[in-house]
Amino acid sequence: MRKAIVVGGGIGGLCTAIGLHGIGWEVTVLERAPELTAVGAGISLWPNALRSLETLDVHLDKLQEQSSGGLHDRNGRRITRWDADAFRRNHGRPLAAIHRADLISALRDALPANSVHTGIEVTSLGDLDADLIVAADGIHSGLRKSLWPEHPDPVYSGSTAFRAVTTLPRPADLSTSWDDGAEIGVIPLHDGRVYWWACYVAEAGIRYEDLKAYLRERFGGWHAPIPELIDATTPETLLHHDLYLLGTPLPSYVKGRVALLGDAAHAMPPFLGQGGCQAIEDAVVLAAALSTTEDVDAALKSYDEQRRPRSQSVVKASTQAGKVGLQLRNPLAVAVRNGVLRLLPGALTARIGSGVSGWTPPVPRRPAPPRTR
């Protein structure tokens, strides 16, 4: 049996392990954190990710399909309406969301109990012995640095983000709201909780002693339910991260028997909601490539040829989406953008992004079950 070691127990690493296990590989996941947990925030899963998870035979019982919503300005004036039915028709699947902890738990449950090992930090490839090593160790990947020591480090996107999950006394709709250089998003989760984030243009490294008080002061004048969401959030659950991306594309996602995957390969800003989705795509393509041949080198070459152009184009698209979306600060340009979007027919806005989310994954070939007499 061929053996693989996956370095990193995040979404991409676990999906990779599921895919490789499904095609008959023995897989070991090494995660440096003491426990396999996820930050207390949500994640949107677009149709391309949902198709990929279906291909991996992963079923999420805590997934929340989004049914209604829209894009607004800070005062609540609608810019565009989001049509869930039209979205499904154009993209082939709904837009859905899940708490990251629930997703990680479901992915972990899809693997054999002894395949994931926590509290293990991999600092050298020389310590690993397998037919394949998958570097899924995140945006600041140590394995990427060891393989391409001269490659530029991740760069700051220009925006900082705050995230949290909380509850409200009444249901909330999916929404994104823009102001000059700022955005607040709201996504309902399956159990009545609400995932929300605030993101705006700022210098990197600025921190606040009382984060909740700062957010209440800065965003308290925005439309409902934004002030209520801030008030309902407990301070210890608030997350604050500056947003980085791998600004210089890698020349390859493969070196020898090592494959880079997810943020280690193509870290992107979250302005299209595709970071985790692209990692899930990576996992399916890698498993599919390895399922068609015994030649690992040939399979890795195929993986790189399929994934590098697509994922790097999504990085560019996400960066551009930020520039014309939440990072746009000129008041005149903002007014023109909003005016143009208001004029777009709903049938057209429902198709936006289908070039990314309409992607269909390859299906890995699973080994035939043993014959019984």
* Pairwise CA distance, residues 84 & 95, whole Å: 8
Residue 347 has pLDDT above 80, yes or no: no
Predicted pLDDT at 149: 97
Chain segment 292-324, per-residue pLDDT in tens: 999 999 999 999 999 999 999 999 999 999 999
Residue 30 has pLDDT above 80, yes or no: yes
Predicted pLDDT at 123: 84
pTM for the full predicted model: 0.96
Chain segment 165-212, per-residue pLDDT in tens: 999 998 899 999 999 999 999 999 999 999 999 999 999 999 999 999
Q: Distance of alpha carbon 162 from its chain centroid, rounded?
A: 16
Q: In what order do the strands lie in the sheet with 193-201?
A: 78-83, 68-73, 174-179, 182-188, 193-201, 155-167, 239-245
What would the two tokens of residue 213 be? 């008080």
What would the two tokens of residue 45 be? 């899963």
* Pairwise CA distance, residues 317 & 66, whole Å: 23
3-state DSSP helix/strand/coil % of the chain, to nearest 5: 40, 25, 40
